[in-house]
């Protein structure tokens, strides 16, 4: 609820610029006492209008274009030829704190002119400063990385304070840069077009994955309008209350409920529900329950004091207030997800039910986010994928949907994000998914990708470890190939 707080001439109010005109400010959570004074502090963090972030964007063009082309050539071309479209798509969004808009004060694109000069006019027209980064070595390595880092560090020290740094690259070499931005209390969003190291993703506030980016650059302008969220039902059990002023059970007269309190609790319930939905629906994977509970408490600070509106805990409250979300208490620490996008098979690091992963498998799952399928379920997934691309032309979204459905019909708990993760790894390894590919080819490409992720995460692998990983994620198919 908002109350009107009087500001006297010359009064200094925290968070309000000096010289603000005397009059009324809208204050969230303020209560008016009997003498008409405001009894709580001004909360300037909660505003009706969306937050506006001053952002600086740095695009490692070669990294993104090449990575996206391996996954979806049409999306790669859309990224390169119409940057104004996806830039406009990024100018607004939603996170755990609510809606926000971005104003991209810095737009820098770094590309190799000897290879990608034909795309320069597209980025120039979209307002980017294009920095030429030609190859400086015989191996074709350009200077894009160092130029990007130098410009980003300069932006950190600039007179203008940028609220957010958007790094468009999957190169984990930028991890120290992201850590530097976080240390300076700046928000960081990374946009990747290929598998990125878990340590790189972990230090960012927001990650837009390759699948999200492909969808973003090819999105149509006419998106359906969001339907308003319905108000949550009252948490208390429904009982027929006596009319105001009539005796309740036991002979005591029931006092009329205070309208202000009812109004405040309803507003708090709506705010908490909205915050939870924003947090879960804006995530690229199932969200830990602790993070979701924190979002709800931030929107409605009265929840802990009221024992989660009388339900006794967060999970019962969630089941009642936001029943459309999926919830699982295991694996620890528990997760919440949007059932329209994910399922229990998509829980991060969750090994298949009834399996007992080895210590090596647990480490691979933890540090690389490799799906924790059993050897048998990997075999089902890889053979199903091979059968599908032999029967149908490969198209990422349709192929992933058919493969997921076929795996689940075969009794293998394989989720959408698992299929997409494997597809991305296989394509990033360079394998063409056409009618000539075999299950063994896919298994070999996928196993090589997983071992590469492990080495990128600085895991020390022996020959025996590599063989064990090949056997596990290859579903035993590579053993047959050797035989």
Q: What is the pLDDT of residues 226-245, one digit of tens each?
A: 444 444 544 444 444 444 44
pLDDT at 97: 67
pLDDT of 136 > 80? The answer is no
* Mean pLDDT calculated for residue range 9-16: 47
pLDDT at 473: 95
Q: Do residues 131 and 108 touch, judged by C-beta distance below 8 A?
A: yes
First to last CA, the chain: 71
Mind listing the pLDDT tens digit for each residue in 172-192?
889 999 999 999 999 999 998
Q: Which of 2-6, 164-168, 249-253, 364-368 is predicted most confidently?
A: 164-168
pLDDT at 72: 85
How does 257-277 read in b/e, with b if 16+ C-beta sit within 10 Å?
A: eeeeeeebbebbbbbbbbbbb
- Cα–Cα distance for residue pair 33/187, rounded to 1 Å: 39
Q: For all residues of the chain together, what is the average pLDDT?
A: 79
pLDDT of 263 > 60? The answer is no
Name the residue with higher pLDDT: 313 or 158.
158
pLDDT at 220: 55
Please classify residue 253 by burial: count the beta carbons closer than 10 Å to its beta carbon, then call 0-12 exposed, 13-18 middle and 19+ buried: exposed
* Mean pLDDT calculated for residue range 318-324: 92
pLDDT of 422 > 80? The answer is yes
CB neighbours of residue 52 within 10 Å: 12
**SS3 of 219, please?**
coil
pLDDT of 260 > 80? The answer is no
Superfamily of domain 51-217: 5'-nuclease (3.40.50.1010)
- Cα–Cα distance for residue pair 144/140, rounded to 1 Å: 12
**SS3 of 53, please?**
strand
State what percent of residues in the chain have pLDDT above 90. Answer: 38
pLDDT at 259: 45
51-60 vs 164-168, strand pairing mode: parallel
Under the banding of pLDDT at 50, 70 and 90, the label for residue 284 is: low
* Mean pLDDT calculated for residue range 370-380: 91
Please classify residue 338 by burial: count the beta carbons closer than 10 Å to its beta carbon, then call 0-12 exposed, 13-18 middle and 19+ buried: middle
- Cα–Cα distance for residue pair 333/326, rounded to 1 Å: 15
Q: Which two tokens stand for residue 388?
A: 């599908």
pLDDT of 256 > 80? The answer is no
How does 207-238 read in b/e, with b if 16+ C-beta sit within 10 Å?
A: bbbbbebbebbbeeeeeeeeeeeeebeebeee
* Mean pLDDT calculated for residue range 348-360: 69
Q: Which residue has the tokens 């986010």?
A: 369
Q: Do residues 217 and 79 touch, judged by C-beta distance below 8 A?
A: yes
State what percent of residues in the chain have pLDDT above 70. Answer: 75
Under the banding of pLDDT at 50, 70 and 90, the label for residue 92 is: confident
Name the residue with higher pLDDT: 380 or 287.
380
How far is residue 1 CA from its own chain's centroid? 30
pLDDT at 137: 66
Name the residue with higher pLDDT: 462 or 42.
462
* Mean pLDDT calculated for residue range 55-84: 92
- Cα–Cα distance for residue pair 236/124, rounded to 1 Å: 58
Name the residue with higher pLDDT: 165 or 262.
165
Q: Which residue has the tokens 């997760």?
A: 335
Among 455, 433, 459, which Cα is nearest to 445's? Answer: 433
The conformation of residue 7, written as its DSSP 8-state character, comes to: E
Name the residue with higher pLDDT: 456 or 76.
76
Give start-end residues of each CATH 3.40.50.1010 domain in the chain.
Answer: 51-217
């Amino acid at each position: 609820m908002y109350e009107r707080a009087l500001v006297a001439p010359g009064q200094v109010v925290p968070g309000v610029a000096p010289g603000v005109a005397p009059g009324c400010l809208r204050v969230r959570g303020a209560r008016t006492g009997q003498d008409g004074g405001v009894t709580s502090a001004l909360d300037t963090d909660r505003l009706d209008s969306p937050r506006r972030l001053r952002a600086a964007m740095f695009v490692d063009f070669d990294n993104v274009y090449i990575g996206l082309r391996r996954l979806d050539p049409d999306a790669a071309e859309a990224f390169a030829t119409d940057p104004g479209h996806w830039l406009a798509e990024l100018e607004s969004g939603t996170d755990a704190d609510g809606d926000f808009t971005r104003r991209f004060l810095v737009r820098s694109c770094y590309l190799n002119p000897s290879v990608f000069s034909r795309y320069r006019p597209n980025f120039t027209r979209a307002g980017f400063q294009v920095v030429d980064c030609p190859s400086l070595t015989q191996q074709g390595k350009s200077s894009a990385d160092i130029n990007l880092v130098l410009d980003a560090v300069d932006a950190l020290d600039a007179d203008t304070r940028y609220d957010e740094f958007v790094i468009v690259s999957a190169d984990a070499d930028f991890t120290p840069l992201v850590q530097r931005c976080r240390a300076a209390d700046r928000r960081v969003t990374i946009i990747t077009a290929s598998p990125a190291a878990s340590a790189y993703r972990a230090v960012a506030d927001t990650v837009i994955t390759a699948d999200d980016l492909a969808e973003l650059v090819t999105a149509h302008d006419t998106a359906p309008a969001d339907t308003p969220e319905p108000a949550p039902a009252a948490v208390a059990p429904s009982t027929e209350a006596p009319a105001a002023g009539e005796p309740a059970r036991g002979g005591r007269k029931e006092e009329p409920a205070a309208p202000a309190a009812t109004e405040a609790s309803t507003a708090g319930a709506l705010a908490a529900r909205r915050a939870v939905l924003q947090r879960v629906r804006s995530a690229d994977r199932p969200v830990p329950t602790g993070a979701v509970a924190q979002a709800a408490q931030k929107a409605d600070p009265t929840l802990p004091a009221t024992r989660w509106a009388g339900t006794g805990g967060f999970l019962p409250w969630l089941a009642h207030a936001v029943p459309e979300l999926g919830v699982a208490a295991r694996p620890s620490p528990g997760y919440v997800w949007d059932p329209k996008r994910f399922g229990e098979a998509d829980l991060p690091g969750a090994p298949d039910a009834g399996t007992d992963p080895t210590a090596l498998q647990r480490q691979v799952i933890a540090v690389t986010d490799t799906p924790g399928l059993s050897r048998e379920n990997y075999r089902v997934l890889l053979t199903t994928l091979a059968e599908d691309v032999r029967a149908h032309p490969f198209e990422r979204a349709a192929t992933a949907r058919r493969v997921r459905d076929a795996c689940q019909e075969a009794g293998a708990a394989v989720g959408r994000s698992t299929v997409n993760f494997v597809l991305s790894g296989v394509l990033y390894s360079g394998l063409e998914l056409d009618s000539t590919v075999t299950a063994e080819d896919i298994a070999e490409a996928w196993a090589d990708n997983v071992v590469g992720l492990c080495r990128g995460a600085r895991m020390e692998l022996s020959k025996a470890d590599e063989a064990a990983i090949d056997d596990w994620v290859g579903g035993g198919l590579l053993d047959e190939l050797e035989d």
